[in-house]
Each structure stands twice: as structure tokens, then as C-alpha cells.
Amino acid sequence: MISLTEENYLKALFNLANHAGEVNVNELSKQLDIKMPTVTSMMKKLAGKKLVYYESYKPLRLTEKGKREASLVIRKHRLTEMFLAEKMGFGWEEVHDIAEQVEHVQSAAFFDKINELLGFPKLDPHGAPIPDKNGKLAWVAYDKLSDCHVGETVRVSAVVHTSSEFLKFLNNREIKLGTRIKIKSIESFDSSMVISYDNRPAETLSHAVCERLLVEKKV
Amino acid sequence: MISLTEENYLKALFNLANHAGEVNVNELSKQLDIKMPTVTSMMKKLAGKKLVYYESYKPLRLTEKGKREASLVIRKHRLTEMFLAEKMGFGWEEVHDIAEQVEHVQSAAFFDKINELLGFPKLDPHGAPIPDKNGKLAWVAYDKLSDCHVGETVRVSAVVHTSSEFLKFLNNREIKLGTRIKIKSIESFDSSMVISYDNRPAETLSHAVCERLLVEKKV
DNA sequence: CTAAGATGTTAGAATAATCTAACAAAATAT
DNA sequence: ATATTTTGTTAGATTATTCTAACATCTTAG
């Protein structure tokens, strides 16, 4: 059995994993707002359960079993987010905090029903893919808006680090998944972008914003 | 802040309270499947938070604050049950176990939304009243079917001690809230009742069943 | 290359919730 | 009314999760 606490560590490990699947103790500590010694001891515990590879002073890595379990928690989280948004009328900026709690419900029937009522969605309200029942995740590699060039027209496909503040910022500007953005110019000194979309007047987006907007170029 | 564990103790205290609002340590211990010494120490803790009146060797009683907090947990539980049954298609025999977990979600917005989507229901799927936002519960005193007499026709209004097994038993016989039951005869040796309803052939219900069916006589 | 700073571990303690064993009080049955 | 049973408490231990303080290792800037 995996405790609620352990589920949270697995989820954070999964979300922080870089290309090589590695996470530092320090990063994980900051992500979870839990002190490093506590993280170290939990990693030893999870290693004992064959969920994490742990060696002193080495980066952390999930085992295959760990990845599967983490994905299943993320599945519950994203299905919940989608249900809250699609079936209950919550805004995409509201769903994360509630899903953070609902995801720990232990009832396959509950999440199966949500999945069914939603028509087996592939993406959550932030454009993130929903892992399947076996914990398999079909990752689509989007581009960051900040990596695009002047003159390109792109479609917003997902948002990263979906803090409520950031999403409210997007709401205020009516930027949502599917919005087609044209890059008019890029300020070289701060990498901010002047863009236009939806027949609106030109708008400037800071680099911080552009890094969090994931887009597709082939519109 | 009231922990998930404390919420469970409060809920159990509320549900077990007799006419005088009293509960014994032993009853509570059995209800929660937690040993008596643990219950005693939790009662001291809750007494420290002014949620329970506790004196050695005396029955336990919730304070007004304790009753309010308990009612609010029960409110979340019953709203969840109703949502699961009405909006998600779960049977009344399935909703309790899921609601037992969802009830601990800390988000007023979540339960407000459920309440709204349900159209502010007054009763849960088992006929139990849903406390209001202030923890006030409008209790309706129904009769047990077992207290009714031969010849009476009554309407099933609620069920008590809603174990999944009992509810499946009722499902098999298509007895639900609203079913009108006529009492044909009562076996004096075991208090079982021969009843008829819905133009079906006569059916015999054991005393155990009749005690758990709450009915209204004025149909 | 080495000193400073960042990162990670060990040791020991704290809190919450639970348990068993032993004892104490209350209720019950003859 | 007293012995037995049931109920309740105390004491002490256990497990899970967290912390701080101190120490160890690794990385990096001169």
C-alpha cells in the first residue's frame, strides 16, 4: 500500500524528472516544501519499496514500478481536473487545488466513472496528457512560445506550471487552449514578445509568460 | 484545524449520539474499529479543542462547537453521496464508501458547487437529511417499519445503517425510497412481516430488515 | 587547486495516531 | 451484597512523518 504522503512524493518526482529521469533531493525538497533530511529518509523508504533508486549523493530516479504508480496518481489528478472543469463548471485556474485532494481517493470505480462520463479524455484542462490505466503516458513534445520566431503563427496547446495566478492572467487576456497567436516582434533586451490573436490589439507577453505557453507550430 | 482523523471521531460521535446526546467510549471504539485507550486519548484531545465534553468514566458528549463541526462533515458526506447517485450514476449501495473519502476534501467551493448542481437537496440517497451550511440539521422523525401494524400502508422514506449488503438486498426486491408497503401479517415468533408492494406477490421481511426501513404512515 | 558555497546525510527529537498490558471503576448477576 | 464481567484509564511502546543541528560531500569561482 502506498500512503497519501508517499503518493505526493512519487507525483513530485515524476513531475520534476528531467530528460534523464533524474531529480535532486534539493529540488524535490523545494517542490514539496519539506526539508531535505525528511526527503532523504523518505527516499530510503521508497527505495525499500522498490519505487525509487536511491544512492547517497546521487540524483534520484523512479523505478519502473515507481513511474507506474506516479502515473496512476497523476491520472487520477488529471481526470479529476477534467471532471471539475467539464462537468462541474470550474475554471481551469480553480481545478488544481481541489484535484490535489480528490486524487487521493482510493476507488477505481470512482475514477472509472469520471473517465466514462468525460468520454475517455486524452488531455486535462491545461493540455497535459492523461496517463492510461496502466500508467502509460503519451507525451507530445510541444514548443515553448519563447522558442518561436517573429512572424510565426502558433496554436496554444498546453500551459506549464499552472499556478492559479498565471491562469488568471491568461483568463484576463482571454488566452486559452486553441488560441492562435501571431508573433509580431521580440524585444531582444528582455525577450518579451509582442503578439496578436483573436483580432485584438497587439499585446506584450513577458519571457516568463512565453516560457509557460506550449504551442504547436503546424496550425 | 481539524484533522481527517478528528473529523472521523466527530462524525461517529454525532451518528452514535442517543436522545441525550451521549455516547460511550466502548461504542465509539467499536464503531471506529479503534481500541478504547486510543479513543480515550483522542477524547482528551478533542476536549482540549472544546469539541467534546469529557470526564473520566462518564459518557461522551459533543459540545455545540463539536456538533456543528460534526454536522459540517456529515453535510459534506451526504452532499457527496447525493452527487454520486444523482449526477454520476452510482447506486445507493455504492455511494457511502466513496463519500467516506471525498468528505474530507477541504474546499468550500467544491461542496458549494455540488450543492448548486444538485439544486440544494434536503435529503441524501438514503433519505437522511443534509445539514445546512451552519451545521443545522432538520430532523424528521420517521417510524420504523417494525413498529407498524397489520393492515397499515406506509411509504418507505429512509433506510438506516446503510450497509452495502442491506441495500443490495433491497435492490434485489426493488424496494426503494417511495415504495408503498402494505403490511399483510406479522409472525409473532420472530416479528417478521409479510408485506406486499408494487403489485408483487407477498414477500416476507425479517425483523432485522423491518427495523432498518423508516416509513411514513400518512401516505 | 583550493576555499567558499551549495547540496546531501546523520543523529536525535517532536507530534499524531495507534497499539498492548496492566490496572481501576462501574454494572450486573446470582 | 459481593463476585464476575464489562467498561474505561494509565503507562509505555510503535509507526509515520516531520523537524533542527551538526557534519559530510560535491560543485564552483577565483
Burial of A117 (C-beta count, 10 Å sphere; 0-12/13-18/19+): middle
Check if A94 contacts B (Cβ < 8 Å): yes
- The half-sphere exposure of A7 on its side-chain side, counting CA atoms within 13 A, is 18
Cα–Cα distances (Å) from B89 to A76, A108, A120, B81, B112, in that order, read 19, 15, 16, 11, 20
Give the three cell numbers for residue A35. Answer: 526539508
pLDDT at residue A140 in the model: 86
Q: Are A18 and A42 in contact (CB under 8 A)?
A: no
Question: CA end-to-end span of chain A, whole Å?
Answer: 45
The answer on B148 and B130 residing in a single domain is: no
* Least confident window among A75-89, A182-196, B33-47: A182-196
How far A170 CA lies from chain B's nearest CA (Å)?
Answer: 21
CATH number at residue B98: 1.10.10.10
The answer on B149 and B135 residing in a single domain is: no
Point out the residues of chain B with pLDDT beneath 50: none
User: Predicted confidence band at A162 (pLDDT cuts at 50, 70, 90)?
Assistant: confident
CATH number at residue B189: 2.30.30.90
pLDDT at residue A219 in the model: 53
pLDDT at residue B154 in the model: 97
Instruction: Among B109, B139, B169, give the residue marking a domain's end.
Output: B139
Identify which of A14, A130, A8, A4 has the alpha carbon closest to the alpha carbon of residue A64: A14
Instruction: Among B62, B84, B102, give the residue marking a domain's end.
Output: B62
Instruction: Among B111, B139, B167, give the residue marking a domain's end.
Output: B139
Is residue B68 in a domain?
Answer: no
Q: Tell me, what amino acid is at B119?
A: G
Q: Which chain C positions come under 7 Å from a protein C-beta?
A: 6-12, 16-22, 25-26
| Domain of A96, in residue numbers | 71-139
pLDDT at residue B218 in the model: 72
Q: Which chain B residues are within 8 Å of A107, Cβ to Cβ? A: 97-98, 101
Q: Which chain A residues are within 8 Å of B114, Cβ to Cβ? A: 88
On the question of pLDDT at A187 being above 70, the answer is yes
Which distant-in-sequence residues (6+ apart) come within 8 Å of B213 by Cβ?
Answer: B144, B145, B146, B156, B159, B175, B181, B205
SS (H, E, C) B88-126: CCCCCCCHHHHHHHHCCCCCHHHHHHHHHHCCCCCECCC
Q: Which chain B residues are within 8 Å of A89, Cβ to Cβ? A: 113, 117
The phi, psi pair for A164, rounded to 5°, reads: -55, -40
Residue scoring higher pLDDT (A188 or A174): A174
pLDDT at residue B219 in the model: 53
Mean pLDDT for the stretch of residues A3-32: 96
Q: Is the CB of residue A31 inside 7 Å of nucleic acid strand C?
A: no
> Considering its fold, how many domains does chain B have in total?
3
User: Predicted confidence band at A139 (pLDDT cuts at 50, 70, 90)?
Assistant: confident
Mean pLDDT for the stretch of residues A202-208: 94
The answer on A154 and A135 residing in a single domain is: no
Check if A106 contacts B (Cβ < 8 Å): yes
Which distant-in-sequence residues (6+ apart) come within 8 Å of A13 by Cβ?
Answer: A23, A28, A52, A60, A62, A66, A70
Count the Cβ atoms, other than its own, within 10 Å of residue B35. 9
Q: Which of A7, A107, A117 to mutate to test the interface with B (most CBs of B within 10 A)?
A: A107
Give the three cell numbers for residue B4. Answer: 481527517
Report the phi/psi class of residue B198: left, alpha or beta, with left for phi > 0 and alpha for psi in -120 to 50.
Answer: left
- The half-sphere exposure of A198 on its side-chain side, counting CA atoms within 13 A, is 10
- Provide the 3-class DSSP secondary structure of residue B162: coil
